[in-house]
């Protein structure tokens, strides 16, 4: 968020560009500006100091504020606009990251619920929720679920992939396996976990 004194400094710069104050003109004291903007003298002091730092004005002790450069006022406005644009982009990125985290949290919650449901079904003798980690030398690495015909070869259905803490739920046939992926899968009582483990970690 832009500070109040920076907004006032920017407005003063615009006033110079628009000809309200001309180069060489003296603003008689900070109190004039304080009254115009209805802010404290300290806020005006900071605004004027900022403009003095970039060569727009010069504070003349016991005289007032001297308007020094229209070009510097233009440069200050351009710099401020660029800064505002960057801050806006940063805010957008922060918002997207927050949304991403919210989605991942929701996915994690749903995965937990799915696993809990699978455990319940397991106790009912319907399916078995299991997991298997892909080793570094697995023949699956770099291949897609569709390519390796996972279900056809194992009888198990992949319900999710845990990839370095990121949960990929219900992955489609185009998902590519990476080393270290943890495969969550389900199947009926005929699915043999050793069979899945052997298939997953068969060397390339």
How do residues 52-106 score in pLDDT, each as one tens digit? 999 999 999 888 899 999 999 999 888 887 766 555 656 666 677 678 778 777 7
Instruction: Tell me the C-alpha to C-alpha distance, in Å, between residue 155 and each of 59, 77, 142, 151, 191.
Output: 82, 66, 21, 5, 6
What is the pLDDT of the chain when averaged over all its residues? Answer: 82
Mean pLDDT, residues 127-134: 79
- Provide the phi-psi class of 185: left if phi over 0, else alpha when psi is between -120 and 50, else beta: beta
The single residue listed with the structure tokens 């300290």 is 42
Is the model's pLDDT at 186 over the cut of 70?
Answer: yes
Residue, of 116 and 156, whose pLDDT is higher: 156
Residues 8-57 have pLDDT tens digits of 888 889 889 888 889 999 987 777 787 888 888 899 999 999 999 999 99
pLDDT over 70, % of the chain: 79
Mean pLDDT, residues 159-164: 89
Mean pLDDT, residues 145-157: 89
Contact (Cβ atoms closer than 8 angstroms) between residue 73 and residue 54: no
Q: How confident is the model at residue 128 (pLDDT cuts 50, 70, 90)?
A: low
Lowest-confidence segment of 72-76, 117-121, 158-162 by average pLDDT: 117-121
Mean pLDDT, residues 136-143: 94
- pLDDT score at 156: 86
Contact (Cβ atoms closer than 8 angstroms) between residue 17 and residue 74: yes
Helices (H), 124-155: 145-148, 150-154
Q: Which domains, and CATH codes, for the chain?
A: 4-81 (1.10.10.10), 127-200 (3.30.70.1450)
Per the confidence metrics, is the pTM higher than 0.95? no
Residues 160, 153: Cα–Cα separation, whole Å: 18
């Amino acid at each position: 968020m832009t500070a109040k004194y920076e907004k006032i400094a920017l407005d003063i710069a615009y006033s110079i560009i628009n000809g309200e104050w001309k180069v060489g003109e003296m603003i008689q004291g900070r109190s004039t500006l304080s009254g115009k903007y209805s802010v404290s003298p300290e806020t005006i002091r900071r605004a004027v100091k900022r403009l003095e730092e970039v060569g727009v004005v010069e504070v003349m002790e016991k005289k007032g504020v001297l308007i020094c450069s229209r070009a510097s006022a233009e440069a200050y406005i351009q710099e401020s606009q660029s800064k505002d644009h960057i801050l806006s982009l940063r805010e957008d990125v922060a918002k997207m990251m927050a949304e991403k985290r919210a989605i991942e949290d929701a996915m994690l919650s749903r995965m937990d619920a799915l696993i809990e449901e699978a455990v319940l079904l397991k106790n009912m003798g319907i399916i078995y929720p299991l997991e298997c980690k892909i080793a570094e030398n697995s023949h699956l690495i770099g291949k897609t679920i569709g390519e390796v015909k996972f279900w056809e070869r194992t009888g198990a259905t992949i319900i999710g992939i845990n990839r370095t803490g990121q949960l990929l739920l219900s992955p489609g046939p185009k998902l590519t396996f990476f080393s270290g992926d943890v495969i969550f899968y389900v199947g009926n009582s005929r699915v043999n976990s050793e069979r899945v483990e052997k298939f997953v970690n068969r060397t390339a």
